Amino acid sequence: MARVYISSVIGAPADRIWQTVRDFNALPDWVPAVRESRIEGGQPSDQVGCVRAFRLEDGGFLRERLLALSDYDYSVTYAILESPMGVQNYIATLKLMPVTDGGRTFAEWTAEFDCDPAAEADLVANIGNGVFQAAFDALKVRFGS
Amino acid sequence: MIRVVRSTVIDAPVAAVWEILRDFNGHDRWHPIVRRSMLEDSKRTDQVGCVRNFDLEDGANVRERLLSLSDSERRFRYSIVAADVPLRNYVAEVRLKPVTDGDRTFWHWSSTFNTPPGQERELAALVATEVYEAGFAAVRARVERPTGGNRRTWDAAAAAPAVRQGAGAAIEGTAIVIDRHGGAEELHPQPAEAPPPGPSQVRLRQTAVGVNYIDVYCRTGYFDLLDPPGVPGLEAAGVVVDVGANVGHLAPGQRVAYACPPLGAYASVRTMDAGLVIPLPDHIDDETAAAGLLKGVTAEFLLHRVHAVAPGETVLVYAPAGGVGRILCQWANRLGATVIGATSTDEKARVGRAAGAHHVIVPGERSLEEQVRDLTDGHGADVIYDAVGRDSFAHSVAALAVRGHLVSFGQASGDIGPQDISMLAGCSATLSRPNYVHYTDTPEKFGASADRLFDAVQRRIVTIEIGQRFALENAADAHRALEGRATTGSTVLIPGPIQDGQGEAES
């Protein structure tokens, strides 16, 4: 089981950042690598169980299912159903926690998955730095660091 | 039910913060409101179920039980068992998470509790600010890295113009000269030259100069170390300009430091014997080296060579808030000793506790030896580091454990004078009077000592706090501040801009 953990501090209150990241269909608005996204079956994007189908800037296509969403915990958990990355049993959680000291937000993004052992190091680095940290960097640009 | 949550970000790796926080009984070493803490029933600090029994600075007593402890989640929970404060059903959680973006720490501290009617707001504010936020500030002060602005480094490019002046030319700079023994006003800047290095010599451009109290004694003539006219100062850091023949361990452009006689460190340029000049690792910045080498190396040989402090020993340190004393407390604590500080004021006691003293005593109505015996169930101190001298010597002997070791390494209160060694028979005591020079006078001795110090600094066992910086030209002001007890931590002098304009100016 491979594990990715990336965390950062973003310079705005958690409730503001949550408005952006809670929308399961809004990846193109804030994750640089995502070009377009839609929710299958016309379901609302906060309906637990809904599936987002999205395309990356490099052409890659993914489908992910919303497993859990908590406005109380500022947390969203999802699983990959289909991807070009060569991962199995991929489950990820993005969670925000308020930093009371200064009205900032602690953001952490974890993922666990199975994969070919030879590809694990590259996958962990690409997901951690190329996706999660890049997304946090984009939030820091938008909201302050 | 009231819920209080406070969180912050500490600019230090999560492991460093967790190392401090996971010690359930260690809060009296860092939290400003905790005066003294002990574990009940001889339990261990990481034994789930243990109860810490502690007194606050205002006199209130609190007992708290460790409910859970997780090193994998870096989290623990605890509850109040009994308290002189009306917090009922109080359960709190401390949790750390790594901030991978910048190798920092997110610290979340929360609790739920009930209060008597009408006291909700007041007690919630007390917990949030006096306990949680004050704790954040105290730990932050202990572990955060020095800010980038404090780092002064020289690279080879900055030093290159000086090298191009030619091997035969002296480099001009500034030195602080004393023409006669006397007050601070006798320290005055004067143009000075650093000649090309001869065999086994090195020429330095200095970037930071350490100020020690011994410099005052040299200036006044109390110590017969400086025969005017002369330049005081024992330690500095800088960059190598060039080296003479037979110098293999240094090269132009290298960052270096020294802490040794002969005097002469109060200068912007210096040519000196290369033997005791050591390269600095990247993680030790120039000011830290200049501020901490003499004191840190002193603490190193006192704790490791004069007496090898072992886990479980009781160590008594005088002046735990002082330069060497603070480092002795930090380091002895991490060596596993029980550290007792002895000082004169509550404020200094607070600094000593923050440095790692488990107990700090302020001798007054009850003598030092009585208080040490009380704290050690009559055992006494296994080793005593005493730089007070005349006023403390007899008390130190009386506070020793059987076969204890009294290390007298200074005489701030005056010479000890003749003593009858039969007094040592009362507890089969060992007495040492170490001299810095004899532990540091070869590259092997000094290098080994400095390496161990640098390692301890990197691992944050020892912290060097720079309280104030003065331009080299204003060395007299630095001495006035030191003698006026207006300084905190270490003091450094910063040489001004160098002639070719490559240096960093310091106002």
Mean pLDDT of chain A: 94
Give this prediction's pTM.
0.53
Whether residue B158 lies inside any domain: the answer is no
Residue A36, Cα to own-chain centre: how many angstroms? 15
- The pLDDT of residue B145 is 59
Q: Which residues contact B150 (CB under 8 A, 6 or more apart)?
A: B285, B287, B466
Whether B136 sits inside 8 A of A98 (CB atoms) is no
The residues with which B109 forms a beta bridge, in sequence order, are B6, B94
> How many CA atoms lie within 13 Å of A35's alpha carbon, on the beta-carbon side?
8
Same domain, B75 and B99: yes
Number of domains into which chain B is organized: 3
Same domain, B41 and B53: yes
The CATH number of residue B90's host domain is 3.30.530.20
Residue B5 with chain A: CB contacts under 8 Å: 98, 100
> Which of B400, B421, B438 finishes a domain?
B438
Q: Which structural domain range is residue B317 located in?
A: 307-438
Mean pLDDT of chain B: 89
C-alpha–C-alpha distance, residues B301 and B305, integer Å: 5
Closest CA in chain B for residue A140: B101
The pair of three-digit structure tokens given for residue B42, joined into one six-digit string: 């001889």
The CATH number of residue B391's host domain is 3.40.50.720
Q: Is the pLDDT of residue B68 over 80?
A: yes
Dihedral angle over CA of A9, A13, A19, A24, nearest 10: 20
Same domain, B6 and B127: yes
Whether B8 sits inside 8 A of A99 (CB atoms) is yes
Q: Is the pLDDT of residue B425 over 70?
A: yes
Looking at the complex, report in whole angstroms how far the Cα of residue B103 sits from the nearest Cα belonging to chain A. Answer: 9
Residue A9 with chain B: CB contacts under 8 Å: 9, 99, 101-102, 104, 106
Q: What pLDDT digit, counting tens, does each position of B436-482 carry?
A: 989 998 888 999 999 999 999 988 899 998 989 999 999 999 999 88
Whether residue B66 lies inside any domain: the answer is yes
Q: What pLDDT digit, counting tens, does each position of B480-489 carry?
A: 988 887 777 8
Q: How confident is the model at residue B496 (pLDDT cuts 50, 70, 90)?
A: confident
Judged by a CB distance cut-off of 8 A, whether residue A97 touches chain B is yes
- The pLDDT of residue B497 is 56
| Residue of A5, A6, A98 with shortest CB distance to B7 | A98
| Residue of A9, A100, A102 with shortest CB distance to B99 | A9
Same domain, B284 and B341: no
Whether B97 sits inside 8 A of A7 (CB atoms) is yes
Same domain, B43 and B113: yes
The CATH number of residue B260's host domain is 3.90.180.10
Looking at the complex, report in whole angstroms how far the Cα of residue B5 sits from the nearest Cα belonging to chain A. Answer: 8
Whether residue B150 lies inside any domain: the answer is no
Q: Is the pLDDT of residue B503 over 80?
A: no
C-alpha–C-alpha distance, residues A37 and A63, integer Å: 10
| Residue of A5, A97, A100 with shortest CB distance to B100 | A5
Q: How confident is the model at residue B209 (pLDDT cuts 50, 70, 90)?
A: very high
Q: What pLDDT digit, counting tens, does each position of B298-348 carry?
A: 999 999 999 999 999 999 999 898 889 999 999 999 999 999 999 988 888
Same domain, B327 and B449: no
Which domains does chain A possess?
A: 2-143 (3.30.530.20)
Q: Is the pLDDT of residue B507 over 70?
A: no
Is B410 within 8 Å of B295 (Cβ atoms)?
no
CB neighbours of residue B357 within 10 Å: 31
Q: Is the pLDDT of residue B152 over 70?
A: no
Same domain, B19 and B115: yes
Q: Taking phi first (over 0 means left), then psi (-120 to 50 degrees means alpha), and beta for anything else, what does residue B368 get?
A: alpha
The span from the first CA to the last CA of chain B, in angstroms, equals 55
Using alpha carbons only, give the angle B7, B142, B154 rounded to the nearest 5 degrees: 115
Judged by a CB distance cut-off of 8 A, whether residue A74 touches chain B is no
Whether residue B504 lies inside any domain: the answer is no
Residue A139 with chain B: CB contacts under 8 Å: none
Q: Is the pLDDT of residue B151 over 50?
A: no
The pair of three-digit structure tokens given for residue A24, joined into one six-digit string: 């399961």
Same domain, B377 and B459: no
Predicted ipTM of the assembly: 0.87
> Which of B438, B462, B478 finishes a domain?
B438
Same domain, B128 and B12: yes
- The pLDDT of residue B385 is 97
Q: What pLDDT digit, counting tens, does each position of B274-300 carry?
A: 988 999 998 999 999 999 999 999 999
Whether residue B299 lies inside any domain: the answer is no
- In B230-376, DSSP assigns E strands to 235-243, 255-259, 269-273, 278-279, 314-318, 338-342, 359-361
Q: How confident is the model at residue B417 (pLDDT cuts 50, 70, 90)?
A: confident
| Residue of B6, B8, B101 with shortest CB distance to A8 | B101
Whether residue B388 lies inside any domain: the answer is yes
| Residue where the block lists tokens 């886990």 | B311
The pair of three-digit structure tokens given for residue A3, joined into one six-digit string: 């594990």
Q: How confident is the model at residue B365 (pLDDT cuts 50, 70, 90)?
A: confident
Alpha-carbon Rg for chain B in angstroms: 25
The residues with which B173 forms a beta bridge, in sequence order, are B192
Provide the total of helices (H) and of strands (E) in chain A, helices listed first: 4, 7
Q: What pLDDT digit, counting tens, does each position of B86-139 carry?
A: 999 999 999 999 999 999 999 999 999 999 999 999 999 999 999 999 999 999
DSSP secondary structure letters along B383-440 = EEEE---TTTHHHHHHHEEEEEEEEE---TT-------GGGGGGGT-EEE---HHHHH
Q: Is the pLDDT of residue B382 over 70?
A: yes
Whether residue B253 lies inside any domain: the answer is yes
Closest CA in chain A for residue B136: A101
- The pLDDT of residue A89 is 96
Whether residue B407 lies inside any domain: the answer is yes
Same domain, B425 and B480: no
The pair of three-digit structure tokens given for residue B47, joined into one six-digit string: 């034994």
Same domain, B135 and B6: yes
Residue A98 with chain B: CB contacts under 8 Å: 5, 7
Judged by a CB distance cut-off of 8 A, whether residue A7 touches chain B is yes
Same domain, B245 and B319: no
- The pLDDT of residue B467 is 86
- The pLDDT of residue B432 is 96
- The pLDDT of residue B66 is 94
Residue B488, Cα to own-chain centre: how many angstroms? 11
Looking at the complex, report in whole angstroms how far the Cα of residue B111 sits from the nearest Cα belonging to chain A. Answer: 14
Mean pLDDT to the nearest integer, A86-100 = 96
- The pLDDT of residue A32 is 85
Q: How confident is the model at residue B50 (pLDDT cuts 50, 70, 90)?
A: very high
| Residue of A102, A106, A128 with shortest CB distance to B106 | A106
